[in-house]
Amino acid sequence: MKRLFWITITGALLMSTLTASGARAKSASTTKSPWGKTPDGEQVDLYTLTNKNGVEAAITTYGGAVVSLKVPDRNGKLGDVVLGFDSVDGYVEGKSYFGAIIGRYGNRIGHAQFTLDGKTYTLAKNNVENSLHGGTKGFNKMVWKAKEIPAKDGQALELTYLSKDGEEGFPGNLKVRVVYTLTDSNELKIEYSATTDKKTVVNLTNHSYFNLAGVGPGMGDILGHMLMIEADKFTPVDSGLIPTGELRDVAGTPFDFRQPTAIGARINSDEEQIKLGGGYDHNFVLRRKPGDPISLAARVEEPKTGRVMEVWTTEPGVQFYTGNFLDGSAHGKGGVAYTKRSAFCLETQHFPDSPNQPKFPSVVLNPGERYHTTTIYKFSTGK
Ligand code: GLA
């Protein structure tokens, strides 16, 4: 009986290391290596998560940033699909938030202030008149504590950070936990949770820049990627990229991505919102199917490689950003200059400036409550 049991287990393990085509797959693993130090001398590590298909996600404890993400094209060839740097120095100096965890408040807060229970909180104006992505030193510039944790569906890394009461002007000690899981279904799942000891506002996201054709020497732009966004409305902005409060129909505008459309098809139109954004830099109001725990937000297909990325989220919005501020000054992995439109972001989120917009879904977190959101980037190949 005992022997039969072991034979069965061994057989199952052997089977699981064979792919459908019969080729031997790499076995799943997580490795940790030292990745340098911050200017203050703090140790930074790099964790590399590999799933049973050989898909690989490298994540640094500096800003919790996804440094590289290698996924197959239609011929099974792995390629890195995110912008990033070869060493921690790039992230310390960087101003574009490549791959990082964004907090305490993702995107903008108008006039860098908000009011809770009659008390006004003032933040740093790090984006003209406004606060952007958590302030002068947001979660993207912090060293996170990391721990490998067991996961039934893949390789998981837990990152934690305590944002102290008053940090960057926000009230409450905020305990933040982010779990990255690279699943055996080729998904990068990100679960964000947080608790506070004072009423505060929270809006966490990840700022990965994707180019599904692959990043590196000779890389092109993302204008040919076909994008679908599950949104009937978007939030138009003013000249400081702060939502006006309107939820506008996408129908008849360059913001209609309800059917797959090339990112570049209307990006140079002289429509007012496109001009204000310098391209796309807008929040889309996601259709959520009532009762669904998590919904499809967007799907992107890159025609040459066949790579497909789906974004699933529990969040009400997604910021579609076309790298309008990339100007070639950041030299990323392999020394490549990252130019305008060389990548796009789909940052799942609550709407920008929600603390000042009573009609938008609330971003207030009270003591005793738990903030919890999930976003999945799922990779596959199409035609
Ligand atoms: C978000 C913002 C953009 C820009 C980038 C980072 O996408 O909406 O305006 O600030 O982050 O450069």
Ligand 1 centroid–CA 107 distance in Å is 7
Report which of 370, 117, 317, 330 is spatially closest to residue 205, judged by C-alpha positions: 317
pLDDT per residue as tens digits for the range 109-144: 999 999 999 999 999 999 999 999 999 999 999 999
278 conformational bin, left if phi > 0, alpha if psi -120 to 50, beta if neither = left
pLDDT per residue as tens digits for the range 64-89: 999 999 999 999 999 999 999 999 99
Is the link from the previous residue into 288 a cis peptide, with omega within 30 of 0? no
From residue 263, give the alpha-carbon distance in Å to each of 82, 323, 362.
17, 12, 30
Ligand 1 centroid–CA 97 distance in Å is 8
* Residue 209 CB–ligand 1 contact under 6 Å: no
pTM for the whole structure: 0.94
* Residue 96 CB–ligand 1 contact under 6 Å: yes
The pLDDT mean for the chain works out to 94
Average pLDDT over residues 90-115: 98
347 is catalytic: yes
Cα distance between residue 332 and residue 324, in whole Å = 17
**What pLDDT does 25 receive?**
53
Check residues 8 and 101 and name the one with the higher pLDDT: 101
Ligand 1 centroid–CA 181 distance in Å is 25
pLDDT per residue as tens digits for the range 172-209: 999 999 999 999 999 999 999 999 999 999 999 999 99
pLDDT per residue as tens digits for the range 254-289: 999 999 999 999 999 999 999 999 999 999 999 988
* Residue 320 CB–ligand 1 contact under 6 Å: no
How many C-beta neighbours within 10 Å does residue 141 have? 18
**What pLDDT does 7 receive?**
39
Q: Please list, in sequence order, all residues whose beta carbon lies within 8 angstroms of the beta carbon of residue 378, skipping any fewer than 6 positions away.
A: 185, 186, 187, 309, 310, 311, 312
List the residue whose alpha carbon is closest to atom 2 of ligand 1. 107
Q: How confident is the model at residue 26 (pLDDT cuts 50, 70, 90)?
A: low
- CATH code linked to domain 28-381: 2.70.98.10
Per-domain residue ranges of the chain: 28-381
Q: How confident is the model at residue 97 (pLDDT cuts 50, 70, 90)?
A: very high
* Residue 107 CB–ligand 1 contact under 6 Å: yes
* Residue 132 CB–ligand 1 contact under 6 Å: yes
**What pLDDT does 24 receive?**
44
Atom of ligand 1 nearest to the CA of 241: 9
pLDDT per residue as tens digits for the range 57-66: 999 999 999 9
pLDDT per residue as tens digits for the range 10-21: 333 434 444 444
Ligand 1 centroid–CA 321 distance in Å is 7
The structure tokens 């009659």 sit at 118
207 is catalytic: yes
Cβ atoms of 285 and 360 within 8 Å: the answer is no
3-state secondary structure of 3: helix
Catalytic residue among 167, 187, 207, 315: 207
Atom of ligand 1 nearest to the CA of 127: 10
* Residue 56 CB–ligand 1 contact under 6 Å: no
From residue 383, give the alpha-carbon distance in Å to each of 68, 301, 307, 337.
25, 9, 9, 30
Q: Is the dihedral of CA 292, 345, 223, 380 positive or negative?
A: negative
Ligand 1 centroid–CA 120 distance in Å is 25
Atom of ligand 1 nearest to the CA of 326: 12
